[in-house]
Amino acid sequence: MIEQPLLVLDFDGVIVDGIEEYWSSSRQTCLNILSAKEKEIISFPSEIPKTFKAMRPWVHHGWEMVILAAECSNKTSQLNLKGLENFSENYQIECSLALEKWGWKPSQLQEALNQTRREAISNNFNQWLNFHQPFSSVTERLKTLEKEGIDFAVLTTKSIEFTKQLLDCFELQPKLVFGHESGSKVDVLNQLVQKRIIRGFIEDRRTTLEKVLEDPNLKSIPCYLASWGYLKSQDQNNLPAGIKLLDLDTLREPISRWS
């Protein structure tokens, strides 16, 4: 067991607001993989659609953003015909139906999205970087953790490749970085808890925190829901015991005062 305690954080919605990059990359990925005939029917706006922003809290994997970009931009999609509420209530089913309709596979979309990002970075790195807005209160706080004798790790469903590039630009040096290649967040935490004392896990996806609570091996991990993240309207209501709502004022305090 390594003595230095560890704080684990999600990335998108906790350390950085990347909604502009998500739209830009997802939009371009659609343009890259759609047929010429399909592109004649669908018009992709340059501005982020309100529906795309509103659906962000439901997204778990990057490839889902490509589906949402296509559905938002298609006037005859179920998302546009039935509305946001219906789509979000049946999110997993609707995403599966959309995959089937377009003839896409998650792995295909994830690789296409990754390739779009590589090209964006290669062609205009500064523009790609500027699409990501770090939460300054969070990045500043992470730089002070060392004074408390605490390391931090980043646990995200974004790829390690792009996460590390952004962390370097934000001048953040986590002890560990885990991406979608590392497995589920619960699996990664199960590996970590055998080696480190985890002082907290900060996440803006309530369902992920609830999965952590359900695992008896992770009972020792304090779970925090980031109030500044991509939250659904009801996420802060009736939080179960074991999940504490964390705001930016509390974040600035020593971790010993969070609970």
Domain residues of the chain, as ranges? Answer: 2-17+134-257, 19-129
pLDDT of residue 196: 95
CA distance 234 to 228: 14
pLDDT of residue 41: 83
Buried b (16+ CB within 10 A) or exposed e, 57-80: bbbebbbbbbbbbbbbbbeebbbb
pLDDT of residue 100: 95
H or E element, residue 18:
none
CA distance 132 to 106: 24
What is the distance, to the nearest Å, from the Cα of residue 118 to the centroid of all Cα atoms in its chain?
A: 18
CATH classification code of 2-17+134-257: 3.40.50.1000
What are the residue ranges in the chain where pLDDT is below 50? none
pLDDT of residue 82: 87
3-state secondary structure of 13: coil
Over residues 150-181, the pLDDT tens digits come to: 999 999 999 999 999 999 999 999 999 999 99
DSSP 8-state secondary structure symbol assigned to residue 77: S
H or E element, residue 244:
strand 243-246
CA dihedral 22, 25, 27, 29 (to 10 degrees): -130
